Amino acid sequence: MTDAVVDKPVAGKAVVGRSLWGDAWARLKANRAAMFSLYYLILMAVVCIAGPWFVPHDYTTIYSDYVRTPPSMEAYPKADMVQGALDDVLKRMRVDLKDWTLEDGRATVTVTSAKPVDERYLRYVDRSDTFDDAKVESKSPDGLEMTFSAAVKQQYFLFGTDNVGRDLLSRTLVAGRISLAIGLLAGVVAVAIGVLYGATAGFTGGKVDEVMMRIVDVLYSLPFIFFVIMLVVFFGRNFVLMFLAVGAVLWLDMARIVRGQALSIRRQEYVQAAEALGVRQSGILLRHVIPNLLGPVVIYMTLLVPHVIILESFLSFLGLGVQEPMTSWGVLISTGAKNIGSANWMLLFPAFFLVSTLFALNFVGDGLRDALDPKDR
């Protein structure tokens, strides 16, 4: 019979344990789907914040010559588009086209008219989205014929343009700023209020719990749109203040979820042991109850963000949310759905950004739930 070998701790080395958050981070890093989604969300946030500064088009600029232009990696205008743009310019100038050529990115145009051609008409050429730097090359003695040249402006629309001629790439990135900000602002406010309210009601119990939950029931019975109209009256069209207030309304579900979890946790042995040792209720609430509620809270948070984004789209449709010239993913998807028959890219690109973000949020939420679940540690 052999003696069992028992490892003895090395003298002089202290055993270092891991905290709840250290253990959760280690477990989260082992979840590849959650970490990939987390990096994707960080990348999405960076692209939406910094991207509009590097896009050559402003999200409010309207290009009337490029309404519903399909996405392309090549520069616009294409060869077959120059003639149409030139005809539109000459209509504004009220002249007739005699001849034109295109060479080295510069168009040379000869026009005629029954009246002397005013050189100031070239301002219509410079105002065009297709031409720039127009100048007179020659003019007949009687002024009825004039030759001018203009540079053809090279425009890139990687995501195409919308139904009024605005660059969809810049609008999608700016919309990401708004949608993510709205979701996070309203979500953080709702979670903060709901966790504190629900944990206090569930852990305290008794009459206090009954009164606090009856208040929640009364608030549930009030119509949500009534709250929104009141918020618009008080806060105006400032969407930041408005959605902070909307988050203060969406905490009701979180309060119920947290209250139910707190009622279960207060009966656990470690809570009873802390009470027997004389730990204050506030200390038990912050150290034992709330940390063990983080799993359901994180999952609800990941579901609340897309809920708020969809809610924002609904409010914008009613004229109570984000208004022009600002935009959001919900607004872009709503506009794209109306033009899906003639310009499907207006729906595909914003929908991809929104759906991929929602998938990433769900994967991160599942990973955090597994990492913070005390039963699996």
What is the CATH classification number for the domain harbouring 148? 3.30.1360.100
The upper half-sphere exposure of residue 51, i.e. CA atoms within 13 Å in the direction of its Cβ, equals: 17
Report yes or no on 10 lying in a domain.
Answer: no
Query: Are 147 and 241 contained in the same domain?
Result: no
| Number of domains into which the chain is organized | 2
Q: Inform me whether the pLDDT recorded for 244 exceeds 80.
A: no
Separation in Å, CA 304 to CA 185, 301, 308, 344: 11, 5, 6, 28
Q: Are strands 145-152 and 96-103 parallel, antiparallel or unpaired?
A: unpaired
Query: Are 53 and 94 contained in the same domain?
Result: no
pLDDT of residue 40: 94
Q: Inform me whether the pLDDT recorded for 8 exceeds 60.
A: no
Query: Model confidence at 19, in pLDDT bands (50, 70, 90)?
Result: low
Report yes or no on 69 lying in a domain.
Answer: no
List, for residues 60-70, the tens digit of each pLDDT value.
999 988 889 99
| HEC per residue, 261-295 | HHHHHCCCHHHHHHHHCCCCHHHHHHHHHCHHHHH
pLDDT of residue 157: 92
Query: Are 100 and 225 contained in the same domain?
Result: no
- The CATH number of the domain holding residue 363 is 1.10.3720.10
pLDDT averaged over the chain?
82
Report yes or no on 135 lying in a domain.
Answer: yes
Query: Are 346 and 295 contained in the same domain?
Result: yes
Query: Are 174 and 266 contained in the same domain?
Result: yes
Report yes or no on 345 lying in a domain.
Answer: yes
Cα–Cα dist 83/100, whole Å:
9
Q: Inform me whether the pLDDT recorded for 46 exceeds 90.
A: yes
Query: Are 197 and 338 contained in the same domain?
Result: yes
List, for residues 148-163, the tens digit of each pLDDT value.
999 999 889 999 999 8
Short-list 370, 375, 288, CA closest to 30: 370
Report yes or no on 12 lying in a domain.
Answer: no
Average confidence (pLDDT) over 240-261: 78
Highest mean pLDDT, choosing among 3-12, 34-43, 262-271, 285-294: 34-43
Query: Are 206 and 294 contained in the same domain?
Result: yes
Query: Are 139 and 170 contained in the same domain?
Result: no
Cα–Cα dist 341/322, whole Å:
25
Query: Are 260 and 222 contained in the same domain?
Result: yes
Report yes or no on 252 lying in a domain.
Answer: yes
Query: Are 233 and 324 contained in the same domain?
Result: yes
Query: Model confidence at 345, in pLDDT bands (50, 70, 90)?
Result: very high
Query: Are 107 and 46 contained in the same domain?
Result: no
Report yes or no on 50 lying in a domain.
Answer: yes
| Among 107, 122, 152, residue at a domain's last position | 152
Query: Are 168 and 261 contained in the same domain?
Result: yes
Report yes or no on 269 lying in a domain.
Answer: yes
Higher pLDDT, 308 or 211: 211
Query: Model confidence at 1, in pLDDT bands (50, 70, 90)?
Result: very low
Task: Scan for tokens 């050429």, then name that residue.
Answer: 125
Domain of 118?
77-152
List, for residues 178-204, the tens digit of each pLDDT value.
888 888 888 888 888 888 888 888 878
Residue 187 near residue 305 (C-beta atoms within 8 A): yes
List, for residues 84-94, the tens digit of each pLDDT value.
888 889 998 88
Q: Inform me whether the pLDDT recorded for 13 exceeds 90.
A: no
